[in-house]
Structures are given as C-alpha cells and as structure tokens.
Structure 1
C-alpha cells in the first residue's frame, strides 16, 4: 500500500482548483486502486460557433430536417458526427 497525503478541506471550488493546479494528484490518490466509472447521463459540453452556409444549402438542410421532424441545427450535428465517425473508421 502506498503512502498518500491527506487531501485538504477546501472552502471554495476556486480554492480547490488553485490547489490542484500546483499539486500532483498521485501524491494524494493511489491510482492503482482506481475504478473506471461510466457517467452515461452527462451531456457533453457544447460550444457555439458561427458557420456561414450558402442560402440554398441551408434551405435544403431545413427541408431535410423538416422531413425528419427535427431542428435543422440538430440534423447538422448528427450529420457531422456520423461523418467524423465514418472518417475515423475508414
């Protein structure tokens, strides 16, 4: 069993963040005993981007989204994710 240091009690999240920015977690946690955890209900973080599309293309996307009864932004995300997944498996 490895000797680990005691993790201090933090008053704020900012205080904890500052602590971990300058300390190595392996001094405080025995990672050999760590277990994998699945957090399947977490939604991935999103970032807003600006994307310029030709008007005709955007209208075509909106028509396709309407056929599928989904927002056109969601359809674009699905298409992009599928294409990236396909590209990585090729």
Structure 2
C-alpha cells in the first residue's frame, strides 16, 4: 500500500474543482485499492439546446414519432445517436 496525502476539506464545490484540476489524484488516492462500481440508475447529464427546423420537417418527425409511440424529441436523439455510431464505424 502506498502512502497518500490527506484530502483537504473544501468549503465549496468550486474550490474542490480547482484543487483537483491542479493536483494529481495519485498523491491522494491509492488507486490500487479501487473497486469497480455499477450505477445502473445513473442518468447521463443532458444539455438543453435550441434547434431551428423547418416546420414541415418537424411535422414529419412528429408523425414518425407518433407511429412509434414515442416523444418526438426522443426520436430525434435516437436518430442522432445512431448516425454518430454509424459514422464512427465508417471512419
């Protein structure tokens, strides 16, 4: 087991973020003792964006989403995800 430094106490999340951006975690954590964890209910972070589409395209997407019984925004995300995966494989 390697000797590690004590992790300081932080007053704010911003203070902690600055600390970890400027310090190597191997000085503070014995990674050889780390264990894998599974977080099946953890949802990925999302970011709201504004996307301008022609009204006719949006209506077509909504019709397709309705046929699949899913929200149109979910269908757009699924299509984007599939396209990105296909493009990665093609490269």
Scaled by the length of structure 2, what TM-score is found? Answer: 0.80
Aligned residues: 90
User: Could you say which residue in structure 1 is the equivalent of 2:44?
Assistant: 44
CA offsets 1:21-77 (integer angstroms, 9 cap, x no match): 332211111112222222221111111111121211111001011111111111100
User: Which residue of 2 is the match for residue 4 of structure 1?
Assistant: 4
Misfit runs of 4+, over 6 Å: none
TM-score by length of 1: 0.81
Give, in whole Å, the separation in 2 of the partners of 1:85 and 1:21: 31
Which runs of 5 or more residues in structure 2 are unaligned? none
Superposed CA RMSD: 1.8
What residue ranges of structure 1 are gaps of 5+ in the alignment? none
